[in-house]
Structure 1
């Protein structure tokens, strides 16, 4: 089916509206006036509507003409962006990049990197998805993501290029009004298991799920991300280990209190990973930026 509205017709319509006459539009488009008149007459005929009020010296759009032009300008802009993306793709820049960010990664630091990327003026669509525990590996495995930031646990062999991001220190923290807040001495399992444990659920869809820092407790309350876990523990709903670099504000304000615990929780190595063989200038740029960043400074607000 042939469409009545073409990109050329929209350009002519826009020129007439901007210049105020068919003659002036023809001059701006380097066309003869008869060509402009023919294009508009044909468009009106094909659509079955009048696009211009010709009763005055200046060509004025009718409501139908204004609708066609307003929507048409959006099409022109989309077409221009598409053309630029095609040229950009040919030069090695991807049209889209998806980043799987583990919930332990501070938002601000990642968004600072994205802000610097935007200054490059490359038309790359950036998608950020949040994952937990094995979810980052799963996002790479299922090709839901091009790069996974903050992956932990046993490293897959041979399939990904893996880069060290440092280690995350976890501390046992409770709300200032929690029953354990005034406990003196090392907290043992028997002191904890009478309270609910706040647990962040693994987001993996296809790979086996993992758990992190689980201990015997009266009850498990599962949430979808680390910020929800922090909030739940601030409200005294339950207890658990939290990443030190994400709770500096809560510790400084006294909303959370670190308690010594006899339950071992060593620092966890953290990585970012990219599937081997994946190329693209945006992917390379982000990889370089990630390598230069200090991620788990406990003085960071997260």
Structure 2
């Protein structure tokens, strides 16, 4: 019903208080301003301005219309700006899938530094488990995946950067029966105790478990916070990432034990979808650094 220029005229007349002052600002003749205002009033079938001797005054309907017109003008400017940004490779948000093994302190620092650099781009974080990280990347729910473990199980235009290996410790509660067993522990000595396992958050890719004996019962939990509480309470046994288990072992609430068949380290990586590259994603990839920095800040 109204063009951008129509709304600009109404806003200018309201601000300047007369057709002639608005005409000066917009580099038009007063009769053109008067004609535009009258045309809009005819479309609305209302009077927006009271015509006085040398000035105009908004009516109550005019007050409301000017308020809404200014909102529309701002929205138009925002649409134009955001469209230009998208055309230049920007987007309004960046999504990161984090494997539950990564250090939370590094997550907090990343968020702070990102928002300092990009105050008008949203950062969307999801915490995933095992193949859930790859699933989020493959399904387009994430632009970047941090701490993805095991081999790359997805195809597509995906690149990755090694983060080094994640080491695991077999731990039990300080009060657990196995704390008194001689080492190394055999599978026959472990099978009767539930294994504390994280629930793989993958929606489409096959789910996996890091460590589980054949025919062993599971105690499935959603994240490592829950797993730690179950370990401490002696509700089960299993392996934990070394950087999470060490503080609990030092406190004396968990005990590390040696297995006859130790669990191997897990290669981890930073992965990203090349189809999602934009200035914010490129900044993040540079910010996260090389393999050595990634390993030191996220897995140790």
TM-score when scaled to structure 2?
A: 0.72
CA contact (8 A) 1:181 1:259 kept: no
The SS at the match of 2:285 is helix
Which residue, out of 104, 107, 110, partners 2:104?
A: 107
The SS at the match of 1:206 is coil
Q: Which residue does 1:98 correspond to in 2?
A: 95
1:137 aligns with 2:134: yes
CA contact (8 A) 2:197 2:218 kept: yes
How far off is 1:166 after superposition?
A: 1.6
> 1:148/1:78 Cα in 2 relative to 1: closer, same or farther (>3 Å)?
farther
How far off is 1:197 after superposition?
A: 2.2
Which residue, out of 111, 115, 118, partners 1:121?
A: 118
Which residue, out of 188, 206, 214, partners 2:212?
A: 214
The SS at the match of 1:259 is strand
Inter-partner Cα distance in structure 2 for 1:53 and 1:251? 80
CA contact (8 A) 1:170 1:267 kept: yes
CA contact (8 A) 2:99 2:129 kept: yes
1:195 aligns with 2:228: no
Inter-partner Cα distance in structure 1 for 2:263 and 2:254? 17
Question: How many residues align structurally?
Answer: 293
CA contact (8 A) 1:203 1:209 kept: yes
CA contact (8 A) 2:149 2:267 kept: yes
CA contact (8 A) 2:97 2:144 kept: yes
C-alpha RMSD over aligned residues: 4.2
> 1:301/1:202 Cα in 2 relative to 1: closer, same or farther (>3 Å)?
closer
1:270 aligns with 2:264: no
TM-score when scaled to structure 1?
A: 0.71
Comparing both structures, which one devotes a greater share of its residues to helix? Answer: 2
